[in-house]
A = this chain, B = another copy of it.
Amino acid sequence: MRLIVQKYGGTSVATSERIRNVARRLVETQREGCRVMAVISAMAGVTDDLIKLAHEISEHPAERELDILLATGEHAATALVAMAVNALGGRAISVTGAQAGILTDRKHTKARIANISPKQIHELLLDDYIVVVAGFQGQTPEGETTTLGRGGSDLTAIALAGALNADVCQIFTDVDGVFTCDPRAVLAAKKLDEIAYDELLEMAGAGSKVVQSRAVEFAKKFGVQFEVRSSFNRNVGTIAKAETASMEDVVIRGISLDRHQAKLTIAGVPDEPGIAGRIFSNIAAAHIIVDMIVQNASIGGTTDISFTIHEDELENARKILMPVVGEIGAKRLNTASGMAKLSVVGIGMRSHSGVAARLFECLGRSGINIQLVSTSEIKITVIIDEKDAERAAQLIHAEFGLAGLVPAARGTAAFA
Contact = CB atoms under 8 A, between A and B. Distances in A.
A23 to B, nearest CB: 8
Contacts of A65: 79-80, 82-83, 86, 94
A243 to B, nearest CB: 41
Number of copies: 2
B59 A79 contact: no
A285 interface: no
Contacts of A72: 72-73, 75-76, 79
Given A69-B80, A72-B72, A83-B62, A57 B94 contact: no
B69 A76 contact: yes
A87 B61 CA distance: 7
Interface in A242-288: none
Interface of A (DSSP majority class): helix
A148 interface: no
Given A68-B94, A72-B72, A80 B62 contact: no
Interface string A6-32: 000000000010011000000000000
Nearest to A64: B93
B68 A86 contact: no
Among A19, A57, A72, the most chain B Cβ lie within 10 Å of the Cβ of A57
7 contacts: A61-B87, A62-B83, A62-B86, A64-B93, A65-B83, A68-B76, A75-B75
Interface of A: 16, 19-20, 50, 53-54, 56-62, 64-66, 68-69, 71-73, 75-76, 78-80, 82-84, 86-87, 93-94
